[in-house]
Amino acid sequence: MSFENLQKAARMDELPLIVDFWASWCGPCRMMAPEFSKAAGLLKGQARCAKLDTQAYPQAGQVHGIRGIPLLIAFQGGREIQRQAGAMSARDIEAWVRRVAAA
């Protein structure tokens, strides 16, 4: 996902948008990548999941105040509603998204 697409999707999506901010040089990010993909499958129809490479789009780090990765940020209605730092399993990501969406 590009930074421009992220900004548009965060404003326009009706479902919660869950973005995994990552970089290819980040070991924990690479470890979490397949877990995030599994979680996206588990959440299909309930949340939109996307990945954004912070190395390719450094402005994302500046705009969203990203201090460390991997970082999940949930957006809804054009605004950030919650964030979660650190690598997580698919089930933990799914549970976090369900809590965020219910709040």
- 88, 32 in Cβ contact below 8 A? yes
Task: Determine whether 49 is an active site residue.
Answer: no
Task: Determine whether 29 is an active site residue.
Answer: yes
Out of 29, 43, 49, 87, the active site residue is 29
DSSP letter string over 15-50? S-EEEEEE-TT-HHHHHHHHHHHHHHHHTTTT-EEE
The residue whose two tokens read 């990548």 is 33
Out of 6, 10, 17, 26, the active site residue is 26
Active site residues: 26, 29
